[in-house]
Amino acid sequence: MIIEDLSLETLADGRVARHATIVPDGGEPTLVRVVVPAGFAPPEPDDASGPLALSLLLAMRRGESLSLRGRVDPSLLARVDDIQAYYLACAPGRLRRVALQTEGALMADEPPAPSAAACFSRGVDSMYQAARLRGFDGPLDALLFVDRFEPRHDDAVRAREIEQAREAAAVLGLPLVVAEAPLRELADAEFDWEDAVGAGIAWVGHALSGGMGRLVIPSSDSVRSLGPMGAGPAIDPLFSSRRIAFEPGDVGETRMGKVAWVVRHQPGLLPYLKVCYAENREDNCGRCGKCLHTMACLRAAGALGQATGFPSELDLDLVAGEVHGLISVLIELSAVRDAAQEAGDTELVAALTATLRRSAQSRPPSTVVERPSFRNLHSQATRALLYAGVRTADVELARRPQHTEPGIGLVRVLDPRARRHVHGAGWIPVGQLTAELGAVTVEGAGEVALWILPDGRLATEAVAPTGASERRRRWRHVASPLAGEGGPRRAVRRALDLIALETLGPAARDPAMTPAGYLYADPAADRVALWVGDHRVTGDQYAASSAEEIGDAGYVNARRLGYLEAHAPLTGRLGIHATPVIPWASP
């Protein structure tokens, strides 16, 4: 890969454009233009310090040596091996170490410019960093907005983005520096942009280093969730040169903590908060994962109504129905749930609990993508260690079906190892999925709280599992196949199963437990009944949509708990999925 045709151009409006052409081996050349305001561009037209970071990652992805037809700051050049080592650790087996050639060292004798800025996209991380008015090494003098980093935006939305960023900066009494850098076009074809964002910001920062000596890059993670990523404390400083230092942002607060800090100290910034890039718009859709996460933070902080760029109401069914593949997101969402619990927002707690359970105990399809990000790879490895390294090798958590719709699906699963049924709300436990019974709802919609006990059985305030009622009939139960269908083989199998399984007794919910969801008390056309029964010898619980199904399965004492919504958010298929023979329970 060759980086050539490095040059400077002063535009008619006084801004300065820095040009470079990227030529991959056997590929078509791509012209890149980074534009900065007058007074910020360093004077050397052959300065290749900026293109180095992103082109190095591209070359490592393609496995091509890199030739820079320009000069590079010597301190940056000395850290190229460290940069490659970091990237290789983030994506083992997916990147390759490459050779680098330059046309010498760029010796800048003048001291760094005294001005310091922080990147400012109006997202939670950059809003928090800007609101603090400083980085680790001192106060901020300006904020930096990079135009064209988001290729989905048309010209009208781009103009409004700049205008709103400038208004938000004015709330803090800081000027806004606007640069233009369409670097996503280079990165998106090869990898997830979040892996390249640090290198992309470094390119822009070096282009500004004639008038900016320090640039703070807000961190998207906290110390609780830090891991491999394209920008953060472990990689940002490596891109620094003698002219500009790249400083990582604060990592002491979770996203919830950052939102709460802005609410307390700079509430005037809340109307400008923008996290959504799912659509071509200047505000927030309120439906994508980033919007739902941020709105949950705002609601937990009691400030959703002040963030006028979002819808006024948070759809809790969408929150509960989300499946998150990234471990870091689960950690961040747990902090939101803690804040909601502290605020007494039981509806939000229930919705967040559902999405955390669903995400933590299933295999979300979002972890399997064509070009997984560094964080995706890390999450895959962590899940593999937890599921295969801690559990026995032959046990895997269920892969979540590709179907997705809002709601908290309630499923019945046959666990062959424990030899009993278990239930999951918003997630699929280990075992054979036998039915999706319907969807529970959140507090305020349904009236009957539903708990899933630690052993997988269901309970409400009025109905709890009764457990085995006729333990003394255990061996009569073993012999019963001899008198009917099944014969000696089923009798032997039933005996072995009954020896192995643990008899379940009565159980009640822990008062401190959070409900898995809520049932309706009354029937309706779009609802389906939820019944439970107990096996009189084993104590196993069986949930179904009718008392007849419970009796046909060999269970007794059928009780109706309430009514579910008649749809299947987890699988898209309402009702029975499989009817396996249950040797220890079938009549």
pLDDT-derived band of residue 311, with 50, 70 and 90 as boundaries? very high
Strand blocks (E) in 397-498? 408-415, 420-425, 432-440, 448-452, 458-459
DSSP for 141-187, written as a single string: SEEEEEETSSTT--HHHHHHHHHHHHHHHHHTT--EEEEE--THHHH
Q: Helices (H), strands (E): how many in the chain?
A: 16, 22
Q: Of the candidates 37, 276, 240, 275, which has an alpha carbon nearest to the alpha carbon of residue 147?
A: 37
* Mean pLDDT (the chain, rounded): 87
- The 10 Å Cβ neighbour count of residue 525 is 5
479 pLDDT more than 70: no
- Residue 485 pLDDT: 54
Pairing relationship of beta strands 245-248 and 448-452 according to DSSP bridges: unpaired
- Nearest residue to 191 (alpha-carbon basis) of 375, 386, 443, 405: 375
The 10 Å CB-count burial string (b at 16+, else e) for 293-326 is bbbbbbbbbebbebbebbbeebbbbbbbbbbbbb
Predicted confidence (pLDDT) at residue 499 exceeds the cutoff of 70: no
pLDDT for residue 480: 53
pLDDT at 380 over 90: no
The reported pLDDT for the residue numbered 441 is 86
Q: Provide the pLDDT for residue 581.
A: 67
pLDDT digits (tens, 9 = 90+) for 336-352: 999 999 999 999 998 99
What mean pLDDT do residues 223-231 have? 93
What pLDDT, on a 0 to 100 scale, did the predictor assign at position 513? 79
At 210, list the tokens.
């004639």
What whole-number distance in Å separates Cα of residue 3 and Cα of residue 53? 12
Tens-place pLDDT, residues 130-149: 999 988 889 999 999 999 99
What element of type H or E holds 50? Answer: helix 49-62
pLDDT score for 391: 35
Q: Over the stretch 165-219, which tens digit does the pLDDT of each residue have?
A: 999 999 999 999 999 999 988 888 788 899 999 999 999 999 999 999 999 999 9
What would the mean pLDDT of 156-162 be, rounded to a whole number?
Answer: 97
510 vs 449, which has greater pLDDT?
449
Residue range 513-527: mean pLDDT, rounded: 90
Range in 114-123, 228-237, 429-438 the model is least confident about: 429-438
The predicted structure's pLDDT at residue 455: 85
pLDDT digits (tens, 9 = 90+) for 383-440: 767 655 543 333 333 344 444 456 788 999 988 777 789 998 877 877 889 999 999 9
The residues that bridge with 412 in the sheet, in sequence order, are 423, 435
Distance from first CA to last CA of the chain, Å, rounded? 71
Indicate the domain borders of the chain.
2-119+126-152+176-245, 403-472+503-576
Give kind and range of the element (H or E) at residue 9. Answer: strand 2-10
pLDDT band for position 364 (cuts 50, 70, 90): very low
Cα-to-chain-centroid distance, residue 297:
14
Higher pLDDT among residues 452 and 417, named by residue:
452
Lowest mean pLDDT among 123-127, 328-332, 368-372: 368-372
CA angle 86, 87, 92 (to 5 degrees): 105
Give the pLDDT mean for 273-282: 93
Q: How confident is the model over 71-118, as pLDDT tens digits?
A: 999 999 999 999 999 999 999 888 999 999 999 999 877 889 999 999
Residue 322's pLDDT band, with cuts at 50, 70 and 90, is confident
pLDDT value at residue 264: 97
